[in-house]
Amino acid sequence: MVLPIQRLNQVFHFCDYLQLIDWTGRAIRLDKKGFVDSSQPKLLNELGIAPEVWVTSAKEFRRQYSGISDRWDAMCAFKKQHNCGQWCKGKASSNALHPSQ
């Protein structure tokens, strides 16, 4: 059984998510067995995220963000709602991951 996962108005399958995670690990860890398939995971295409932007975001998550990643407006709203300070880090990275929003 394949369980769908909903992200905003998009539904994707858990197996597509696992494919993305496996592909990301192989792209980041050169010492990991196997190879990175030149075709990008289906989920990246469906979400409209460029593979190089995804890999950079995964590799540099802590440097690019303050513990959360989402659309820029959603990140800032979350920080404000949870009293995490006024400053919100990661605008350029967020806009690269979510170009259509």
At 85 the pLDDT is 65
What share of the chain has pLDDT > 70, as a percent?
63
In angstroms, the CA 44 to CA 7 distance is 13
- Spatial contact of 24 and 55, defined as CB atoms under 8 Å apart: yes
Low-confidence ranges of the chain (pLDDT < 50): 1-6
- Spatial contact of 75 and 69, defined as CB atoms under 8 Å apart: yes
Global pTM value: 0.54
CA of residue 95 relative to chain centroid, distance: 11
At 30 the pLDDT is 64
What share of the chain has pLDDT > 90, as a percent?
0
Q: Report helix, strand or coil for 10.
A: strand
Closest C-alpha among 48, 54, 98 to residue 74: 98
What would the pLDDT profile of 44-71 be if each residue is shown by its tens digit? 887 788 888 888 888 877 777 666 667 7
